[in-house]
Amino acid sequence: MPWTQADIDAAKAAYASGAKEIRTADGRDITYRDTDDFLQLLAQMENDVAVATGQLPNRFVLVGHRSGVV
């Protein structure tokens, strides 16, 4: 079963409360190890929901960084 907005909301709520496990709408239990693991999972969930609903997924690309340049 694909991810739903309810799964995303539950994941964000679980993360905010400090939980390391998410129960999805279809009963799957997902456990993540750390913040990076959670952010990867969240990005995948949001991308899947965006594609399923015909929206463009959010994509951010960081191109170069020049420190000290004003």
| DSSP secondary structure code for residue 31 in this structure | E
In angstroms, the CA 35 to CA 58 distance is: 19
In angstroms, the CA 49 to CA 16 distance is: 21
In angstroms, the CA 33 to CA 61 distance is: 25
pTM: 0.70
1-60: pLDDT as tens digits: 588 999 999 899 988 999 989 888 888 898 988 888 888 989 899 988 988 888 876 665
Amino acid 9: pLDDT: 92
Q: Does residue 66 have a pLDDT over 70?
A: no
